A and B are shown apart, each in its own frame.
Chain A
Amino acid sequence: MQSTIAAPAGAVPDDATVAFEELYHSSRDDLYAYVRSLVHNDAVAEDVTATAFERAYRRRTSFKPRRGSLRAWLFGIARNAALDELRRGKRTTALETEPADEAAAPDADADAVSRRGVVREALAGLSTRERELIALKFFAGLSTAEIASVIGTSESAAAMRVHRTIEKLRRSCDEA
């Protein structure tokens, strides 16, 4: 269900609010998927996702197009919120990581199940930074330029890191 994000009562939604509404609807699920890959916990991921959208909404008028795309800006906010949550979680107690859903679809064939297991094992062998790149690329669907903006590096460096990570994954899968 697509809903319209409210502007102050009686006011015509400004450009920033309209732009944010479009961003919300186009990024909601991608953002959750990315955050979930960082925090490894559904409840925390929901909280961080809500926080990220709330912060982005409150700062929607401060976005500067020359700094990058709106989507990269939103994911940058989400990244910081997730990392802050990780820091807080370490100071109190270890976050309980929810185990991945191992149950296969009823009609999945053995090969698909096997491939899925291989990929998961390969993902588990990546560092957190490498997994983040995978999440930004494949879960969030960000471009290389957007990934660079989110992680705070140059586009060429981001491209190189993504490429190396994918190659590392492929090698791990092939060796499994």
Chain B
Amino acid sequence: MRLEELERELRAERAEMESDFAAKLDEWAAAGFPRGERPSTAPLAAQHGLAAGRRGMIDRARRHLALTPPRRLLAPIALAASALVVGGVAISESGLIGKNGSGDELQALSAGDRAATSPLTQNDAAPAVAESAPQAGKAAGGIGRKVQRDAQMTLAANPGDVPDVAGRATDVVENLGGVVLSSRVEGSDERSSASLQLQVPSGRLDSALTSLADLAEVRSRSEGSLDVTRPYVSARDQLSKLTAERKGLLRRLAAAGTDQQAASVRARIDALDGQIATARADFRSVSRQARDATIDLEITSDGKSSGDGFGIDDALHDAGHVLTVAAGIALISGAVLVPLAILAAIALLIARASRTRSRQRALDDE
């Protein structure tokens, strides 16, 4: 067969569109292919024997997705994912950045507040325990560490505000169950200062320092601690030993056969009582050291003028803080989003390759 002949015959085999459908398609095209108005000349399920309900919601959704350009799907999905990640990071970081570890302080506070009650109850009970008898298992290892804590803080305020700041510092301490050991406020409108020695339960020291730092600008802050476990245990054991010895002497006194024996025992008991009083005083002293923390608070107006308010330095400081926080959020968000984006891109490539192979198989299987 000649090529021209073959071409003619092949072109004659070309299928022609039904005129009804052609008209409907033209009409749909003229309207801009509005969704939900696809033309069809007959129900497809009936025409080619497909399962009823095939053209259901899932198919419509699939068709809608297929018609939507990928960028229109990816953009809102990416935006939502980014917003979730950034929001989550911002919420978690807002409690840590710029608060100088107040999150840790909160944890320490909750632990310290719990511990604050135990030294009090322990220390109140210890003399009774020591007087009765040292119990097995209540050795040094069973009491936990005893730590003496102290802190120093210097605040800066306007000269006219120093007395007010001192007053609020007193309120802070008293609200935490502490006391003001001493206070001194002096000065004039141009220059003022205050010195306070404060005492709070050791477990509430961090909370006290945080609250005091909020009263005015912090110029300096330091903390110290001293482990007094050994002196505590030593004082307690000494007290226990002496009271046990006194009990023994009381039994000997009751069993004394002669007046001479009784007088001898009484003399030893009297001597022991003096030692017990000393030991008890030592024990209470070291217990108090562990139970209470002292804060030396200085409030000064040096470098501050009466008209000082929010200045350029404060603005720069705050701006730097905001930028640091923002940079931290951006960095952490990026660390989360970049791997996710890479994974999503890989998944997309795999899906595309799979779809292409599947289409090729459809041709080969025909």
Contact = CB atoms under 8 A, between A and B. Distances in A.
B99 interface: no
A42 B6 contact: no
Interface in B46-73: 47-51, 54, 63, 66-69
B358 A87 contact: yes
B25 A57 contact: no
Interface residues of A, number: 59
B42 A43 contact: yes
B44 A53 contact: no
Contact of B13 (A1, A32, A95, A123): A123
B239 to A, nearest CB: 87
Contacts of B362: 83-84, 86-87, 90
Contacts of B263: none
B338 interface: no
Given A96-B49, A166-B6, A173-B6, 5 more contacts: A49-B17, A84-B359, A86-B362, A116-B9, A134-B10
A164 interface: no
A87 B48 CA distance: 14
Interface in B1-49: 1, 3, 5-7, 9-18, 21-23, 25-33, 38-42, 44, 47-49
Interface in A39-98: 41-47, 49-51, 53-55, 57-59, 62, 80, 83-84, 86-87, 89-90, 92-93, 95-96
30 contacts: A3-B29, A6-B31, A7-B32, A32-B17, A41-B47, A44-B48, A46-B21, A47-B44, A50-B38, A50-B40, A53-B33, A83-B359, A89-B48, A89-B50, A90-B362, A90-B365, A93-B50, A96-B48, A96-B49, A115-B5, A119-B10, A128-B363, A128-B366, A129-B364, A134-B10, A138-B14, A139-B11, A139-B13, A170-B1, A173-B6
Contact of A28 (B18, B25, B51, B363): B25
Interface of B: 1, 3, 5-7, 9-18, 21-23, 25-33, 38-42, 44, 47-51, 54, 63, 66-69, 358-366
A83 B17 contact: no
Contacts, number: 150
Nearest to B10: A138
A49 B25 contact: yes
A58 B50 contact: no
A86 B358 CA distance: 10
B363 A50 contact: no
A47 B44 CA distance: 8
Contacts of B360: 83
A164 to B, nearest CB: 14
How would you classify the secondary structure of chain B's contact residues: helix, strand, loop or mixed?
Answer: helix
A41 B48 CA distance: 8
Contacts of B63: 51
Contacts of A4: 30
A146 interface: no
Contacts of A128: 363-364, 366
| Most chain A CB inside 10 Å of its own CB: which residue of B16, B32, B42, B51 | B32
Interface string A121-133: 0010000110010
